[in-house]
Amino acid sequence: MRVEASLYSDIKLTILNADGINKKQNIQIQQLINMGVDLLIISPNESEPITKIAEEAYNRGIPTIIIDRKINSDNYTAYIGANNYEIGKNVAEYLGNLFSNQRKSILEIRGLDKSSPGCDRHQGFLKGLERHPHLQMKASEEGQWLPEIAGAIAMTKFKEDSFDIVFAHNDVMALGARKFAPKEQLSHLFFVGVDALPSLGIKKVYEGELQASFIYPTGGNLAIDLAIQILHHKPYIRINELETSVVDESNVKVIQLQQKQVLNQQSTINKQIGKIEAQNQEYNDQRTLLHVTLISLFLLVVAALWLAFYFVRINKKNHELAIKNAAIERQKKELEKKNEQILEMSKKVEDATQAKLTFFTNISHEIRTPLSLIQAPVRTMMTQAHKLNLPSSVNSSLNLIQRNTDRLLRMVNQLMDFRKVELGKADLSISKVNIIDECKHIYQSFMPLAQQKNIDFHLEKEETRYDVWIDVDKIDKVLFNLLSNAFKFTPKDGVIVIRIKTNHDKYVLIEISDSGPGISHKESGNIFEPFYQQSEHRSMGTGIGLSLSKGFMKLHHGALALSKSDSQGSIFTISIPKGKEHFSTKQIIQIQQEIKTTPETNNLYHNKEKPLLTNNSHKENTVLIVEDDIELREYLTNLLDEYFFVKSAENGKIALEMLQEEHPDIIVTDLMMPELNGIEMTKKIRSNLETCHLPLIMLTAKSTQDQKIEGIETGADAYIEKPFTTTYLLVRIRKLIESRAILREYHKNNMLNPEMIKQSNQNPLDKKFLSNLILMVESKYSDANFSVEECGRQLGLSRIHLYRKVKALTDYTPSEFINKYRLRKSKDLLLKQHSNINAVAFEVGFSSAAYFTKKFKEEYGMTPSQFIEQRGSMRSISMETKPR
């Protein structure tokens, strides 16, 4: 690039090196964008991390050339690079022609499967092999571009099978594989790599360590030529794919000689460029000085002429300008005053809007938290009433408290639902239901109230079944609102009827009639307006129930109307459209039946709660409570202290500091907290290798679908709404602890199988950690000096954090894990090498055969020789009983 750019005097080339660090490369590209470069050439270290910043440069109008590796987007000006698919295909063609009609087995060591070069080379190689059936792909493994991983793969695969050809996606992996190939097979093994750099691939082909390497072209000079064409608005080719060629014993000497000549010429050219640049700088300095001198003289002459020409008129002009400036100044002050007024009004409107939004967002949290502190103890006392022998007056008081807290919670829910409908953020979860069954459930809930007021309350229906597509929760709220109003306004000994029918056309109709005082004609047109209350009944409610119900029916493409109102009472009619064509596919779901934990259903089920934990049954487990409300924090501490060791923190920031020293088994956290909320804390826990395995329950007053999804996607294992039942919370804690124990057992049983670990239901960071741990132990288990400290260094963890992590995921200490791994390996080796127990002991990393025998007997209840004898007798029995 430097040589090619030196040929153009109007081009200034700036080259920055990110040293293979994605973050550093992002910062450097941002600096170049801020500098306002005319054209940007990017060679991405990795595709995905660089895509966003490259797109930003392109979208700002900066021509962007991508070189060597594509980004995950088409937002770039041009691309120069090798066709990795063709490279893989050419390798297959080369091997097919080289070993024509000779049956050969191949081990392929791929690059990173998530990178485009690795995927393309693999697909091209497979495509090329289709033309050469005498070449057999016996194994293909991901080497992640690293020689140590390629070496571990080669060591494993050469033990399992024999190969004739090793094709690695780069030269360093090919050399890594060769290092671990059996020495007796090296003479006939054929190693092929990709890159063919002078100092590595070409050198190793010349020395005979690699049999061939394919050149990975870069196209630096082409990049400068293409940049010139783009900058000069000339036609250019957008996608420029470079050709490759093989380097083997037939041409390596010639290529080496050419490379040396090119490097010598490059050095000479660089020296000449340096001299030319120095001369150009000196010339430019002299030319600049001359230009400055000439311009200065010219300006002096012009200034003298200008002063002479305008000297006479200057006083007149100054006077005219003074008058104009005064007028402009007055206008400016008036505009500034108006702007200030507009800004002040805008700020007031914005502040009012934000205050309203903040109110509706936070009111749920502010009210639900104290409701939790009221409802949970009340339910506990009501559940244990028979044990406490409470007087009937106390039971009545507890029932009164519960009814009114449920009522308050319904009011809060109505406010939040109203706000969501008002903002157009109310989502529907549509399913097919029998509307008669739903009406029966609501009907049964109001029967006790009807009996108390001696109201004739009955349900009438024309058929036994009307299937409709609805959001059950929202239709329940509509029916609940209408029936609540009916019971408010209907006097004792009155009549309330639920009537279900159909017009046999498009709608199922639900009529709710009462024998109350009715609604006057004057007010009937306003009853569906938000916060409107009848003049005679202003103290009876919030005034949003009917407005909210009408909004819910509009979401269903139905209607809610006052169809009759006089002195004999009122009739409200709900119209539900038949079919589901008016709903989107996203809105229609399959709903699993489960007990709801809303306030309306809590009072139906709280007497059925049973203790699901025995005292001290899990006292070995520690729970960390993160809650900013001190009363709720103390209540949860007292509740859980009976079953667990309990730690507490008042916000997410303090909790993260505690996790550096403490290591709980489960975390129960609030969502809205000062300094660091539950969502941000969960993100930090899930992105930290030392803590990402901890189960976490999010306890919050926010209950919208989007908020639940955000909590779960962030990494929460459970999402419990306030107010909550204590039994449900205890069950969720117990189940999460048990699921982690099951997962540990799964990891213990599959510690020799990284593929099974990848399939487990586990945090991606934990999967990667366990896979890396198993790969490392696999490559080091035969080394008797391999220690826990070395293991921690290779995995990037201190000894204490490595201990905590491995213990949490497998229930083994790191030392136990390594020894268990060695002993399980020894069983396989004993079956293959049963005549030499000493050799097996040393091969799995035990420095003493006696110590190996001791540990083997502790683990399996028998000595190695007894194990061999037992397996040998089993094989003998199998052979004797085999049919002849």
Q: What is the pLDDT confidence band of residue 603, given thresholds at 50, 70 and 90? A: very low
| Residue 539, pLDDT score | 40
Pick the CATH number of 81-236+243-248 from 3.40.50.2300, 3.40.50.2000, 3.40.640.10, 1.20.1250.20: 3.40.50.2300
Q: What is the pLDDT confidence band of residue 815, given thresholds at 50, 70 and 90? A: confident
The winner for highest mean pLDDT among 269-273, 422-426, 682-686, 822-826 is 682-686
Pick the CATH number of 604-747 from 3.40.50.2300, 3.40.50.300, 3.30.230.70, 3.20.20.70: 3.40.50.2300
The winner for highest mean pLDDT among 14-23, 256-265, 606-615, 794-803 is 14-23
| Residue 600 confidence (pLDDT) above 80 | no
Check if the beta carbon of residue 736 is closer than 8 Å to that of residue 695.
yes
> Looking at domain 430-579, which CATH architecture does it have?
2-Layer Sandwich (3.30)
pLDDT digits (tens, 9 = 90+) for 470-498: 888 888 888 988 888 888 888 888 999 99
Check if 81-236+243-248 and 430-579 are the same fold: no
Mean pLDDT of the chain: 81
Cite the DSSP H helix spans in 722-813.
726-749, 754-758, 764-780, 788-795, 799-810
3-state secondary structure of 454: coil
The DSSP bridge pattern shows strands 104-110 and 135-142 to be parallel
pLDDT digits (tens, 9 = 90+) for 354-413: 566 556 656 665 676 677 667 667 777 776 665 667 676 666 677 767 767 776 776 677
Domain 750-880 bears CATH identifier 3.50.50.60: no
Task: State the Cα–Cα distance between residues 865 and 324, nearest whole angstrom.
Answer: 111
Task: State the Cα–Cα distance between residues 687 and 676, nearest whole angstrom.
Answer: 16
Check if the beta carbon of residue 409 is closer than 8 Å to that of residue 564.
no
Mean of pLDDT values over 104-110? 95
Lowest-confidence region among 35-44, 233-242, 369-378, 670-679: 369-378
Which residues, 6 or more positions from 719, have their beta carbon under 8 angstroms from its beta carbon? 697, 698, 700, 708, 711, 712
| Residue 62, pLDDT score | 94
Lowest-confidence region among 79-93, 267-281, 476-490, 854-868: 267-281
Distance of alpha carbon 585 from the chain centroid: 25
| Residue 601, pLDDT score | 35
Higher pLDDT, 44 or 610: 44
pLDDT digits (tens, 9 = 90+) for 142-157: 999 999 999 999 999 9
The DSSP bridge pattern shows strands 40-42 and 78-82 to be unpaired
Q: What is the pLDDT confidence band of residue 464, given thresholds at 50, 70 and 90? A: confident
Mean of pLDDT values over 617-626? 79
Higher pLDDT, 328 or 833: 328
Task: State the Cα–Cα distance between residues 459 and 440, nearest whole angstrom.
Answer: 8
pLDDT digits (tens, 9 = 90+) for 747-804: 777 666 666 666 665 667 777 887 788 888 878 777 777 888 888 888 888 888 788 8
| Residue 611, pLDDT score | 43
Mean of pLDDT values over 169-178? 94
| Residue 595, pLDDT score | 32
Domain 2-76 bears CATH identifier 3.65.10.10: no
Q: Which residues pair with 499 in a beta bridge?
A: 460, 511
Domains of the chain, residue spans: 2-76, 81-236+243-248, 430-579, 604-747, 750-880
pLDDT digits (tens, 9 = 90+) for 259-290: 787 777 777 777 877 787 788 788 888 888 88
Orientation of helix 814-832 relative to helix 799-810, angle to 10°: 60
* % residues pLDDT > 90 (the chain): 24
One-letter amino acid of 525: G
Which residues, 6 or more positions from 533, have their beta carbon under 8 angstroms from its beta carbon? 540, 541, 543
